[in-house]
């Protein structure tokens, strides 16, 4: 009965042992592997997202640093393009005739404490006169405009005079222009005036020790008629300033790119140094161990040379003694260190070599 039961159960045991159990084990292992890989994938994705966020934050900081450095350099290196000051002309009146009895002149205050003009930067200084096309100004012809540059102590730094006059237009041209522009002239939109720019300094450079703070303007004509006068100080750019002013987008791209390259280089070198600090520390430790081992061997060799009966390990120690003998000032030092005289050490040297070779 037991044999029959065993025979009948044998196929089921083989089926369970060779088919069902391997399939179940394989399925269970596959499920465990998939679950582990899923967890590892979640962890890996989280780490990737964190690294990407840190990288984006660092990139944003680097870009803003590059932009800020260029803006700071621009406002430090580039001066103000233009300075405009109103000029309030003054003169003495006459009782006998209508009009001024002296040349119109004015004092223009540029600054009180700080330096207005950048040192080393040339400036164009001009006086703009708004004059009506009156009969008196047309008969006036040429006149002189003078300017004096003075420092805080009212000391004269520079002086110049230039000639000027109204732009000539014939009587027919003025008549046609008046007829065409008459509606605008009637409603006050346009006036019959001319702006006369007089450039008194074409390339003026300020002094750092004695900066200019005041400008004195004088029009050397008593018959002149004008509406207003303004002083214009315009920077005359050359070189890098000229490129930065006339091509701001190109210069900004190059400047920000150079700053990015510099900051990225410094950041990568810092990161490389920080990441390799362990390796560098291990390298230093190995160097120190080698140096300590070398010092220990030298100490052993030196101590062995001072003892006549010492047995050397190999020929290398003897060769060290032969190549680099100890230097002593006199026989007393030798006897004090080894207990033997120099002649005895020389006699014992062959014995030391035989002992080492044996």
Q: Supply the pLDDT for residue 318.
A: 44
Domain count, the chain: 2
Q: Is residue 269 part of a domain?
A: no
C-beta of residue 178 within 8 angstroms of C-beta of residue 112? no
C-beta of residue 217 within 8 angstroms of C-beta of residue 108? yes
Q: Of 236, 251, 268, which marks where a domain is finished?
A: 236
315 and 194 in a common domain: no
Nearest to 224 by CA among 136, 148, 164, 158: 136
Q: Supply the pLDDT for residue 16.
A: 63
332 and 212 in a common domain: no
226 and 95 in a common domain: yes
Q: Supply the pLDDT for residue 201.
A: 92
Residue 304, Cβ neighbours under 10 Å: how many?
19
CATH code at 89? 2.60.120
Q: Supply the pLDDT for residue 231.
A: 94
Helix (H) or strand (E) holding 205: none
What the block records as the tokens of 194 is 């001319």
Q: Supply the pLDDT for residue 68.
A: 92
Please classify residue 335 by burial: count the beta carbons closer than 10 Å to its beta carbon, then call 0-12 exposed, 13-18 middle and 19+ buried: middle
C-beta of residue 125 within 8 angstroms of C-beta of residue 201? yes
Nearest to 126 by CA among 26, 49, 199, 203: 199
Q: Supply the pLDDT for residue 322.
A: 46
Q: Is residue 27 part of a domain?
A: no
Q: Of 236, 253, 279, which marks where a domain is finished?
A: 236
Q: Which residue has the tokens 């702006």?
A: 195
Q: Is residue 194 part of a domain?
A: yes
220 and 116 in a common domain: yes
Q: Supply the pLDDT for residue 356.
A: 43
Q: Is residue 311 part of a domain?
A: yes
189 and 330 in a common domain: no
Q: Supply the pLDDT for residue 18.
A: 66
101 and 186 in a common domain: yes
Mean pLDDT, contiguous 10-residue spans, the chain (358 residues): 59 64 71 66 70 85 90 89 91 79 90 82 93 89 92 88 90 88 86 90 87 92 90 90 89 91 83 62 75 83 64 47 47 47 53 48
Rounded to whole angstroms, how far apart are CA atoms 168 and 93?
Answer: 29
Q: Is residue 259 part of a domain?
A: no
Q: Supply the pLDDT for residue 328.
A: 46
209 and 98 in a common domain: yes
Residue 254, Cβ neighbours under 10 Å: how many?
14
Helix (H) or strand (E) holding 336: helix 331-338
218 and 99 in a common domain: yes
Q: Supply the pLDDT for residue 97.
A: 72
Q: Supply the pLDDT for residue 347.
A: 57
232 and 303 in a common domain: no
Q: Is residue 339 part of a domain?
A: yes
Rounded to whole angstroms, how far apart are CA atoms 2 and 176?
Answer: 138
Rg, Å, the chain Cα set: 49
343 and 200 in a common domain: no
Q: Which residue has the tokens 């045991």?
A: 13
Residue 302 domain boundaries: 288-357
Q: What is the pLDDT of residues 7-48, one digit of tens each?
A: 656 665 666 666 667 766 777 777 677 666 666 655 677 777
Rounded to whole angstroms, how far apart are CA atoms 222 and 101?
Answer: 6
298 and 214 in a common domain: no
Q: Is residue 196 part of a domain?
A: yes
Q: Of 236, 268, 301, which marks where a domain is finished?
A: 236
Q: Supply the pLDDT for residue 128.
A: 94
DSSP letter assigned to residue 329: S
Q: Is residue 157 part of a domain?
A: yes
Rounded to whole angstroms, how far apart are CA atoms 253 and 344?
Answer: 83
Q: Supply the pLDDT for residue 216.
A: 94
Q: What pairs with residue 228 in β-bridges?
A: 130
311 and 203 in a common domain: no
């Amino acid at each position: 009965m037991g044999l029959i039961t065993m025979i009948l159960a044998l196929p089921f045991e083989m089926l369970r042992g060779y088919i069902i159990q391997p399939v179940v084990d394989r399925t269970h292992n596959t499920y465990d592997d998939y679950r582990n890989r899923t967890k590892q994938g979640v962890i890996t994705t989280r780490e990737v997202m964190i690294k990407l966020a840190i990288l984006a934050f660092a990139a944003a900081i680097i870009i803003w640093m590059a932009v800020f450095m260029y803006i700071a350099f621009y406002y430090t290196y580039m001066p103000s393009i233009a300075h405009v000051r109103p000029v309030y002309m003054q003169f003495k009146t006459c009782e006998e005739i209508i009009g001024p009895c002296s040349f119109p002149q004015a004092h223009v205050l540029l600054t009180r404490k700080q330096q207005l003009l950048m040192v080393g930067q040339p400036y164009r200084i001009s006086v703009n006169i708004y004059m009506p096309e009156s009969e008196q100004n047309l008969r006036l012809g040429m006149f002189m405009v003078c300017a004096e540059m003075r420092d805080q102590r009212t000391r004269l730094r520079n002086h110049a005079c230039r000639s000027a006059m109204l732009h000539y237009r014939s009587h027919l041209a003025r008549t046609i222009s008046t007829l065409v522009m008459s509606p605008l002239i009637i409603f006050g939109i346009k006036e019959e005036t001319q702006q006369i720019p007089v450039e008194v300094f074409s390339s003026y450079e300020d002094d750092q020790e004695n900066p200019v703070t005041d400008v004195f303007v004088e029009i050397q004509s008593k018959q002149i008629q004008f509406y207003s006068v303004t002083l214009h100080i315009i920077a005359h750019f050359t070189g890098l300033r000229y490129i930065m002013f006339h091509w701001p987008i190109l210069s900004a791209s190059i400047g920000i790119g150079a700053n990015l390259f510099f900051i990225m280089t410094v950041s990568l070198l810092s990161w490389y140094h920080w990441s390799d600090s362990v390796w560098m520390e291990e390298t230093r430790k190995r160097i120190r161990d080698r140096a300590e081992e070398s010092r220990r061997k030298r100490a052993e060799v030196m101590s062995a040379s001072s003892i006549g009966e010492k047995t050397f390990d190999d020929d290398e120690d003897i060769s060290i003694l032969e190549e680099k003998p100890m230097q002593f000032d006199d026989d007393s030092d030798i006897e004090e260190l080894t207990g033997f005289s120099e002649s005895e050490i020389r006699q014992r040297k062959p014995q030391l070599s035989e002992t080492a070779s044996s």
